[in-house]
Amino acid sequence: MPEAMEASDATSAKGMTMGVRVLVADDSATVRLMLRRLLEADPDISVVGMAANGREAVQMVALLKPDLVTMDVEMPVMDGITAIEQIMAFTPVPVLVISSVVSKLHTANVARALGAGAVDVISKPGAASEEEFNAAAATIRNRVKQLSRVQVITHLRARLVRQAGKNWPPACSASVKLVAIACSTGGPQALQIILAALPADLPAGIVVVQHIAEGFTDGLVEWLDRNCDLKVKKGVNGDAIKPGEAIIAPDSIHMTVTRERRIALVDDQAPGPHKPSADVLLESAARAYGPGALGLILTGMGSDGARGMRAIYESGGHTLAQDEQTSVIFGMAKEAIRLNAVEEVVPLPEIGFAIRSYFPGSSASQGKAAAPRP
């Protein structure tokens, strides 16, 4: 078995090397070799094995115990989504999806992989100039080193199903008209769990900034829409914000909300590296909705959204944050808590119910939500 030899050779050559130990899974031998060379250009990264399909990846994770796995989605024998589910259930390790934007269906499968437990997605370096390739390679190496330190959760989906029955008391009698959500690394899975817990007749609109690699937003939207009772769509300039609809910010432009309860896409510069920016969205929610805004900050790296949460809090709105134990990365929520911008810190399985509690007397506050869907 040549792939087993690849893993054995890599292990013997790199077994004593300190640093981040990576398993590469991709059905293309060319891509596997490219990723190995790209990653090992950093002396702090060693590739300890290379798998040609999902089944080999699952077996090698158990054998080699890498710090991180890079995973393609569409592979023979066992696809990347199934492999991620198996890895997260039995030998949890951070998984970074490295994929090309091939089609809407493909990007929807990438979203499914994130929902299965992968911590992030990044684009494969494509045909580009040497300068562009080197920049993309550096981005991949940096992301691998960052994510290798993430503490992932075993059997996360099973845990959520067991805990999803908590009855929340009514949070308040004030009328919430908008739920504004900020999330980054680990966010797609958290979003699916939360949105699936909300009814189609939720008497408030939802707006979301999710940091994700450019080109994958359409697939994320399609996957969320298919797996939730709420309508999920991508933000379009001028669209009305309607109850029971979740609007996801598009790539490479800021999304805001107006006092006329509409979406406004703006190409302005804003502090920070993110476009779309969660701060920009949440600050606009504070201005437009005031006490009628509910801010929610989820798992993610960095501090984007913390300032916006503070703006909602100071405008008389309500604020929730995902807790550390259920976050893939407790960065964004931690920063919002540090700014004293969070009223309540909530475990992921209970966030949907916490949101429902802001609508006492409506059907949204009644009954149990559906269990998270695969």
Return the amino acid letter for 258: T
Distances (CA, A) of 240 to 207, 306, 320: 11, 26, 25
Annotated catalytic, 211? yes
Instruction: Give the containing element (helix H, strand E) for 21.
Output: strand 20-25
Return the amino acid letter for 270: A
Give the CA-trace dihedral at 279, 237, 288, 358, to 10 degrees.
-80
Tokens of 131: 């300068």
Annotated catalytic, 184? yes
Q: Which of 42, 300, 303 is nearest to 150 (CA)?
A: 300
Residues 136, 125 contacting (CB under 8 angstroms)? yes
92 half-sphere exposure, CB direction, 13 A CA radius? 16
Tokens of 260: 């006329």
Residue 250 CA to residue 167 CA, distance in Å, equals 34
Residue 251 CA to residue 273 CA, distance in Å, equals 13
How far out from the chain centre does Cα 360 lie? 30
Name the catalytic one among 304, 318, 327, 365.
304
18 half-sphere exposure, CB direction, 13 A CA radius? 0
Give every CB contact of residue 4 below 8 A, 6+ residues apart in sequence: none
Tokens of 188: 């797609």
Strand order in the sheet with 344-346: 231-234, 245-248, 205-210, 178-183, 293-297, 318-322, 344-346
Annotated catalytic, 304? yes
Neighbouring CB atoms inside 10 A of 219's CB total 25
Residue 289 CA to residue 261 CA, distance in Å, equals 9
Name the catalytic one among 79, 99, 211, 318.
211
Name the catalytic one among 46, 184, 277, 315.
184
Strand partners, 320: 296, 344
Residue 4 CA to residue 21 CA, distance in Å, equals 17
CB burial of 111-150 (b: ≥16 within 10 Å; e: otherwise) equals bbbbbbbbbbbbbbbeeeeeeeeeebbeebbebbbbbbeb
Q: Which residues have a catalytic role annotated?
A: 184, 211, 304
